[in-house]
Amino acid sequence: MAVKQIPSSEVEIGMYISHLDRPWVETPFLFQGFEVQSQDDIDELCEHTKYVYVMVPDEEIELGGLSSHQSASVETSELIHKTNYSDTVSAEEEVKKIRSSHEELSALFTEIETLVQSGGTLRLEVLEQPVKYMVDSVAKNPDAYLWLTRLKKFDSFLYKDAVTSAVLATALGRQLGMAAQELQALATGCMLMDIGKLSLPTELLHKPDRLDHDEWELMKTHVDRGLELLKACPKCSPAVLDIVRTHHERLDGGGYPQGLQGSEIPLFGQIAGIVDQYVAVTSPRPFAKPISPSKAEEMLYKQRGTMFDEILVEYFIRTLSTYPTGSLVELSTGEVAIVKAQKSGLNLKPDVILLLDANKQPYGTYTLASLDNYTKDNLPVTIVKTLADGDHGVSIEELSL
């Protein structure tokens, strides 16, 4: 793949930066390779580098020239590039509209758990309208549902994972340009992909230590258990069953239960696998502490082309943005904040709510700050890093925002 060196001052929006004139870790750029999407990106490049390497336009392949056979199969899928979405409402306005539907969607999982544990038959039609509300909201502006899901306190991490996975998968499908019908199936499948865990022993799910071999083998049966539950539902679509069946399969054949490889894994299953991995490592667990969103994104980026499809990983990272909505961040002032909403063209300068001062003490009141104009001592305030849920004693679910 051809690349050429150009001065940073000659970078234009739309170019793909493949390398810098210095190590990536010496700059604020999270990923080793990215598409320039705004003047803000150009300004950051000029500030931290003298020259960069860009891919030659006539040989450029979308999303960084990732040319594996698996990625090509994703790009040629008939399910993507059908619709171009853009934010049509502000996140703040949308949050006010969807609070009740978000609560309804969350509450449904209490009913689902009761049904599964009592041996009842699931009725997927009860999910249809709440999921549609969610899909419609994410299509307008993903930040609203991402924000509410991140802050809501759930009785079980299984419920939280289910709703979070559905929202993230829908946001990724939106980025891929899927039509509303596909988004509905994708959201439903990702919401139900771990439903088989509800029939496993509670002590297994909440064990604080590493699972032994037999326990791990039992845990893996949740895939077949979930399929058995959903196949009994008259209105369960093949797309939903595909997600449940393949969300733990991996591109290199190292997944389970079938060890599928590459294009043997359907597109929806590949999306579900990426989302499931991200949610698992960024959410508190009985057996593991969460990692920060940026660490999770770096992990996925390193696994692209082996465990996960390269193009899908880059689309997912683009969906989340550099500092995902609902993530804790530390500012250049030492303050700790939570990202409230993204700003178009300013991926490094989202709106945040200030939580802790420079000494890591709670503020008396929460203040919204827009990082495109927030300054201290006449200096612009920037994000230094993302934090894991629980860092500095901040539990996201416990915030009253």
In a domain, 293, yes or no: yes
Domain boundary among 320, 351, 381: 320
In a domain, 386, yes or no: yes
Q: Do residue 265 and residue 165 come from a single domain?
A: yes
Domain boundary (278, 298, 320) is at 320
Confirm whether 256 is domain-assigned.
yes
- The answer to whether residues 368 and 333 touch, using CB atoms and an 8 Å cutoff, is no
Q: Among 106, 155, 159, 158, which Cα is nearest to 131's?
A: 106
Same domain for 347 and 310: no
In this structure, the answer to whether residues 192 and 242 fall within a common structural domain is yes
Nearest to 9 by CA among 33, 34, 39: 39
Q: Flag whether 160 is in a domain.
A: yes
Looking at the structure, tell me whether residues 303 and 346 fall in a common domain: no
Same domain, residue pair 39 and 139: no
pLDDT digits (tens, 9 = 90+) for 57-114: 333 333 333 334 444 467 678 888 889 898 999 988 999 899 888 888 878 877 887 7
Do residues 375 and 339 both lie within one domain? yes
Domain that holds residue 253: 91-320
Residues 242 and 292 in one domain: yes
pLDDT tens-digit map of 187-206? 999 999 999 998 999 899 88
CA distances from 358 to 266, 327, 336, 355 (A): 47, 18, 8, 10
Do 355 and 314 share a structural domain?
no
Q: Specify if 130 maps to a domain.
A: yes
Are residues 54 and 174 both part of a single domain?
A: no
> Do 293 and 332 sit in the same domain of this protein?
no
How many domains does one find in the chain?
Answer: 3
Q: Read off the CATH number of the domain in which 199 is found.
A: 1.10.3210.10
Tens of pLDDT, residues 111-143: 887 788 777 778 888 889 999 999 999 999 999
Q: Identify the band that residue 1 occupies on the pLDDT scale cut at 50, 70 and 90.
A: very low
pTM as predicted:
0.79
Is residue 389 assigned to a domain? yes
Q: Do 353 and 385 fall into the same domain?
A: yes
Q: Is residue 72 part of a domain?
A: no
Last residue of a domain, one of 320, 340, 371: 320
Q: What is the pLDDT of residue 24?
A: 66
Residues 170 and 224 in one domain: yes
Q: State how far the Cα of 129 lies from the Cα of 149, in Å rounded to an integer.
A: 18
